[in-house]
Structure 1
Amino acid sequence: MAKYLLLKHYRGAPAPVNNVPMDQWTQDEISAHIQYMNDFADKLKDTGEFVDGQALEMAGAWVRYDGEGKPPVTDGPFAETKDLIAGWMIIDVDSYERAIELAGELSAAPGKDGKPIHEWLEVRPFYGNAPTITE
């Protein structure tokens, strides 16, 4: 087993197919999207592949050590990008292929008009856990 981080990217313009910004979704569409995420996590809990996950607020800051004492802080979460990290999920699966399969399924979460949003997910193995690739 190897742990992977599925990092959810919410993209701004230019948007992928069917990815309408969430501020244009109805409350029912937002609820359906969240329910899909919860159902997906529950399915992985049943298979023993779910470790943890969390949605993130659309607020934050960049902080770095500058060697001078109090670290500088810049408003965030991402000052110079059209991507927003919307949340994450940690899975523990048998292979890299399984991690990719689950990320593809998670990417199909519903959005505006119930259509899959084709959300970009970053799949990252945890350091020290070499991915198992099967052929």
Structure 2
Amino acid sequence: MKYMLLMQFSSRTLDVPSVGEWRPEEVRAHVGFMSDVNGKLAAAGELVDAQGLAMPDTALIVRAGADGAPLVTDGPFAETKEFLAGWWIVEVPARQRALEIAAEVSAAPGPGGAPLRMPIEVREVMSAPPTEA
């Protein structure tokens, strides 16, 4: 089964400074932790994809215009309190394993090396439309 693990950053759920305020060695420790997790998942054959995203101030919002052309506006605004920071797609034999992986990445180090305990949303990737029960 494939699962998507979504790493959310939110000032409501994390009481840490923004990443831009971390010391360089704290950023390196955080990125190193994530690289190590990705390496272990790849070695176990569980990693399908993992990506970090640029900060939300670089995002754009696109809607289809009446003529089908893209209507582009700036992305999330300064008042945005939470954003998607990255994701993993894992292929594991059972949901429990996806939950274990989510707990591991939730503990990535933040300022001072303390585990962030950030929320990780776990969603099954649908391979086909649901069938009637």
State whether TM-score is above 0.5.
yes
Matched residue, 1:16: 14
Structure 1 partner of 2:121: 122
Distance 1:6 1:14 in 2: 19
Q: TM-score, normalised by structure 2?
A: 0.86
* Cα drift, residue 129 of structure 1: 6.6
> In the comparison of the two structures, how many residue pairs are matched?
126
1:14, distance to aligned residue in structure 2 (A): 2.7
Separation (CA, whole Å) in 2 of partners of 1:74 and 1:119: 29
Question: Percent identity between the aligned chains?
Answer: 40
Deviations 1:29-71 (A, max 9, x none): 0000000000001111111111111111111111111332322
SS at match of 2:64: coil
Amino acid at match of 1:122: E
Contact 1:100–1:123, Cα closer than 8 Å, also in 2: yes
Is residue 20–residue 111 contact of structure 1 (8 Å, CA) maintained in 2? no
Runs (5+) with no aligned partner, structure 1: 131-135
* Aligned-pair Cα RMSD in Å: 1.8
- The one-letter code matched in structure 1 to 2:46 is E
Q: For 2:49 and 2:70, how far apart are their aligned partners in 1? A: 30
Counterpart position of 1:36: 33
